[in-house]
């Protein structure tokens, strides 16, 4: 699979904030990895309360592994994110949350995911 970054739009600017410790040169690849997850595995994006968003994923092991691996790496550079992956009753979801200080980052990430979500 070749990763390609989708151009940013005004509604999703800033989801890779200055607080991120990932080296600047590696950020486009990380964005492309999220873009691929959103386009191929995310089927719905919904608010889940203040500072939280829930992404429904295709219920298969590959999607679960990809989401878990990406979430683990992302918390290494953006420790303000909390990812929770839940598999239950044949469904798979990833909830992402952040503190009040970074809700704008989460909103931008959710907007990008919703725009790119697989049908």
The answer to whether position 15 is within a domain reads no
Residue 72, domain CATH: 3.30.1360
Q: CA angle at residue 30 from 78 to 18, to 5 degrees?
A: 40
Number of domains in the chain: 1
Calpha distance 45→111 (Å, rounded): 9
**Taking the chain, what is the end-to-end CA distance rounded to the nearest angstrom?**
19
Cα four-point dihedral sign 64, 70, 73, 78: negative
The answer to whether position 12 is within a domain reads no
pTM given for the model = 0.82
The answer to whether position 106 is within a domain reads yes
The answer to whether position 74 is within a domain reads yes
Q: What is the pLDDT of residue 105?
A: 87
**pLDDT tens, residue by residue, 54-65:** 999 999 999 999
Q: What is the pLDDT of residue 2?
A: 39
DSSP, res 90 = T
The answer to whether position 58 is within a domain reads yes
Work out the average pLDDT over 37-62. 96
The answer to whether position 89 is within a domain reads yes
């Amino acid at each position: 699979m070749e990763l390609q970054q989708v151009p940013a739009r005004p509604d999703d600017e800033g989801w890779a904030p200055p607080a991120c410790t990932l080296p600047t040169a590696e950020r486009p690849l990380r964005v492309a990895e999220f873009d691929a997850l959103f386009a191929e595995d995310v089927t719905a994006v919904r608010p889940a309360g203040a500072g939280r968003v829930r992404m429904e994923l295709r219920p298969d092991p590959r999607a679960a592994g990809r989401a878990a691996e990406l979430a683990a790496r992302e918390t290494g550079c953006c420790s303000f994110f909390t990812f929770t992956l839940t598999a239950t009753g044949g469904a798979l979801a990833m909830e992402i949350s952040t503190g009040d200080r970074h809700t704008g980052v989460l909103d931008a990430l959710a907007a990008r995911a919703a725009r790119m979500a697989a049908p």
